[in-house]
Structure 1
């Protein structure tokens, strides 16, 4: 590519995005909202009939409508796409390549999961030895393991960033259209055959589509659009979603469309990206305040740890409360809803405490020094299987002692492989 062509490309796509504090705010808000949804979705009742687990949130009349706003995972992948575009361009600028990017991102994603899988293996193994009822243990393990699908899905999208970035540079709109068609095709095959597992193929197209929207965000595409156009696009998307989710092919409950991911989530990502840009200016002003910056710094710095640990801690805290005889309000009652803010604060505080204690597991890989490189692709591929594999198995088979134990062994192995360095091509190690 000539210098003139390169300059033209920069003019078209915009200057490489610098750090956008709104991205940090949205990422942090998404994590907090996920925690809040879970503390309102899980209700523990303890009475003469025994211990019961209910879902008060899902019993509300407006729950399904609320998922059209509260389902923030598409937006999370859009934000992740913005960060991935900036990270990939930074890697290329300093002379790195795909192996460097994949290794760096997967280590940052999976290193905090090492202590979690170890604790889960010990906890589930101990509970089994103590004779915990199988049904109760399975229900608890299912709840604890439910957020771990994100490790597999996000890990897959991160592995694809170098390829998807190139496709975005060459044909951004064709790439988006192709992903949307693929997502629709997967859903079509799933619905025609009745084989739910076919939908797992959409871990690629649906979340990569949302990630590509993040690439557009990093290019400044949304910022250059008028508010009227953005609002019109968002309204049109929601207008399309209404009939889509009303004919029986897809559920109107956007949380139900999450696992496996379905086509409506790709459309939801478009609307959410447009709506975020509509409020970008006021959010930018908000992020100029010390209070907002401090909150985002405290919570955002340990966002992955909070996400990974909040459900195990929430369940453990409920167990401790039951053991010491703390009275539990009736799930769904006015008293129970009034205590949800307290539950949110307690869970966030506990998760932050755990995150601070495990900070060494959250450190990023150091940058490559001159003359060094990441391992060869076969080693990278093995490491990808060791890290993403256990999270994918939990997503598909649900958490158990054996899956936790396998993850506690394989994930550290994968992270170790990704953390190794080898001499660069043409360099001999002395």
Structure 2
């Protein structure tokens, strides 16, 4: 093909990319940022530290409240996070295709963006847990602290799996969106049935696919404008029906009414919750859009959203470290659950977010994306990408199953950088001879 012939093709691709970017929904950025902040706030209210004559005691004041279980039906935002992730994934995939890229380019780019910020975290955790073990820290205390620090890492495994599936799932969505959603829902139900029949919680790990891919497919519908074309009345009815369905299925003793208990491994109620949450977001989409036209909202979303993944990964280790420093210097701790303690939660949230932002800015080198492919180049072949995916997703999956420990942190500190390095490699595109 001559240069004159290729110029119109390049111009059309550039126009396609600009068109895709122009469709960016700032409400998605707002929701993604709000979800991260809400997760941080929930953890700030779930960890109460008290220093007394008998030593240090850790309680969970939030879970002791009588309305806590009911609140999880609103505060469990992970299904919504995967929905907005599906929206962003659909836009990202179409942008990749419009630039002339393919599935390998998309998967490599997304995995690097997800796991490169985790490299310093696994390294610090391995060093810290190794030192604590060498100093003779009581195993029970160390295991409890490590469990808390590592609890958010499940998200890396779950989201990484869904990102690897995006090119395939988009094709299914384009061919048969409703059959795909129905099949995923049936699979999620079947996995839960096997889990209940066998009594093995490990069987539920199979639902890392169907449940979160279902939520992601809902995001594909959102990106297509399906929810925007529905009336508010219909959306409210569907959302209400979803919540109404949760009442009987969480009352028969199989699924927990506490949506946090249904999280790891994920269970069917979270898929139902994804539908209701997506509908409710569209109901308030117009006022949220007006909010995102203000400079204050745009600034807050930019500052917090830019480092959202790093804030999410680091907030619990930092919160535990800040509590440790406060205990060491003798800061008075109010009784967890008291009026004074609750009044200080807003201050704790602001301080934690501030420190997390400072850490994120210090680690910004790890948050850089993969550069665009040059003409004639492509990402490594699928076998190499598969190895890289195992290296990056594997340690987070092990944390989800076995909980964090020195050995698991060391595994992550070694494998995640190796996987990211493999993902950054490029090879000649198909049909391009190496010179």
Specify if TM > 0.5.
yes
2:281 paired residue number: 276
Distance 2:283 2:317 in 1: 36
Deviations 1:354-408 (A, max 9, x none): 0000001000001100010000001000000000000000010000011001100
Listed as ranges, the matches of 1:47-196 within 5 Å are: 47-196=52-201
In 1, are the aligned partners of 2:20 and 2:94 still within 8 Å (CA)? no
2:366 paired residue number: 361
1:402 paired residue number: 407
Instruction: Say which SS state the counterpart of residue 369 (structure 2) adopts.
Output: coil
Distance 1:189 1:328 in 2: 46
In 1, are the aligned partners of 2:117 and 2:309 still within 8 Å (CA)? yes
- The alignment's C-alpha RMSD in Å is 1.0
- With structure 1 as the length reference, what TM-score do the two structures score? 0.96
- With structure 2 as the length reference, what TM-score do the two structures score? 0.95
Residue 335 of structure 1, aligned match among 329, 335, 340: 340
Deviations 1:61-119 (A, max 9, x none): 00000000000000000000000000000111111111000000000000000000000
The question of 1:285 aligning with 2:290 is answered yes
Deviation of 1:128 after TM superposition, in Å, equals 1.1
Deviations 1:311-337 (A, max 9, x none): 000000001111111111111111111
Gaps of 5+ in 2: 1-18
In 2, are the aligned partners of 1:183 and 1:206 still within 8 Å (CA)? yes
2:266 paired residue number: 261
2:321 paired residue number: 316
1:10 paired residue number: none
Deviation of 1:37 after TM superposition, in Å, equals 0.1
Instruction: Say which SS state the counterpart of residue 46 (structure 1) adopts.
Output: strand
In 2, are the aligned partners of 1:16 and 1:218 still within 8 Å (CA)? no
1:303 paired residue number: 308
1:9 paired residue number: none
The question of 1:391 aligning with 2:378 is answered no
Distance 1:93 1:259 in 2: 36
2:351 paired residue number: 346
In 2, are the aligned partners of 1:17 and 1:218 still within 8 Å (CA)? no
Distance 1:108 1:296 in 2: 19
Distance 2:433 2:326 in 1: 60
In 1, are the aligned partners of 2:119 and 2:416 still within 8 Å (CA)? yes
Distance 1:33 1:104 in 2: 27
In 2, are the aligned partners of 1:117 and 1:404 still within 8 Å (CA)? yes
The question of 1:238 aligning with 2:243 is answered yes
Instruction: Say which SS state the counterpart of residue 52 (structure 1) adopts.
Output: strand
Deviation of 1:16 after TM superposition, in Å, equals 8.7
Distance 1:135 1:359 in 2: 34
1:6 paired residue number: none
Instruction: Say which SS state the counterpart of residue 58 (structure 2) adopts.
Output: strand
Deviation of 1:429 after TM superposition, in Å, equals 2.8
Misfit runs of 4+, over 6 Å:
14-17
The question of 1:226 aligning with 2:231 is answered yes
Gaps of 5+ in 1: 1-13
